[in-house]
Structure 1
Amino acid sequence: MAFLNAMNISASGLTAQRARLDVISENISNSNITRTESGDPYRRRMVVFEPRTQGSFQEIFNKTAFGGASTQRGVIVSEIVEDESPFKSVYDPTHPDADEDGYVMMPNVDLLKETIDSMEASRAYDANVTAFNAIKAMATKGLEVGR
């Protein structure tokens, strides 16, 4: 049933964007952590997405459109990577982690960037919910035809 495949694709998008929002929330909540277990400031994390199926559009289209086996499609979180951009140096001689010159190394988390990323992830999540509900409505209407 094709509508179930479409629901699975939307559901994979929902799961991926939820994971992205979780990582963004973690970044925001740790934006002032100057010392982790390793002794360095918190390093920003990013989510990397990957398509669930591999192959060109034409290969996937030929498999599914012309009676071939249906392949799982959608998106998955392939990994969560650390941002290697440099830490921010802030002058605060009263901070316990300040160096001899009074500078503290702060996490490489930019709150504006995280806010924009969270808005984007939220919009993508909402779009997947809308697509899922549209598919559900079409399936319901299709079942009503038989009445």
Structure 2
Amino acid sequence: MGGIWQSLAISQSGMEVEQLRAEVAARNIANANVTSAPGMPLAKPLRVMVQQVGVGFGQALSRAESDQTPLGGVRAVVVESDAPARKVLDPSSPLADAQGYVQYAGVNTLEEMFAMTMAVRSYEANVTAFNAARSMMQKALDIGGKQ
């Protein structure tokens, strides 16, 4: 049963990362059209960096083949992007600089929508894997109870 518990934990870590990725994309989209006065800091787009926890796939496979519990999962770190500010010519804006440009956060809305869609799809895949492991665990308990 240890392997099933581990697969549940791995799926859960994946769901947590994808939820964070969707939240960050939503935050970036919300800040896409936010501007600031010349010389004032803009909202920085955020990025989710994912790193594996535990051993890699090859090591996990070796551990599983030798009847050891494969360890794994993922975790995320949120970092600021270094994307340059988006400049739009709008000399009538009170926030325009001396050349008539207004600066917006360096958010590409299309990329953020794609990231959000991918996060939702990945979250769904992790839910499917979680439910499959849970179903296997339930079947094992049912089989064990019939003896």
> TM-score, normalised to structure 2's length?
0.88
1:51 aligns with 2:56: no
Alpha-carbon separation, structure 2, partners of 1:62 and 1:137: 25
2:130 maps to 132
- % of aligned pairs identical? 31
The answer (yes or no) to whether the contact 1:34–1:40 under 8 Å persists in 2 is no
2:72 maps to 73
Q: Report how far residue 34 of structure 1 moved.
A: 1.4
Unmatched tracts of structure 1, length 5 or more: none
AA aligned to 2:86 is K
1:41 maps to 42
Residue 101 of structure 2, aligned match among 100, 103, 108: 103
1:15 aligns with 2:13: no
SS at structure 2 position matched to 1:80: strand
Aligned residues: 143
User: How does 1:72-91 map onto structure 2 within 5 Å?
Assistant: 72-77=71-76, 79-91=77-89
Alpha-carbon separation, structure 2, partners of 1:42 and 1:91: 19
**Given the superposition, is the C-alpha separation of residues 58 and 113 from structure 1 closer, same or farther in structure 2, using an over 3 Å criterion?**
closer
**Of 83-92 and 44-53, the range deviating more from structure 2:** 83-92
> TM-score, normalised to structure 1's length?
0.88
Alpha-carbon separation, structure 2, partners of 1:71 and 1:141: 22
Q: Report how far residue 95 of structure 1 moved.
A: 1.9
AA aligned to 2:27 is E
Alpha-carbon separation, structure 2, partners of 1:142 and 1:71: 20
Q: Deviations over 1:5-62 (max 9, x none)?
A: 10000000000111111111110111112129x82222211000000114x5443333
Alpha-carbon separation, structure 1, partners of 2:104 and 2:119: 25
Unmatched tracts of structure 2, length 5 or more: none
Q: Report how far residue 145 of structure 1 moved.
A: 1.1
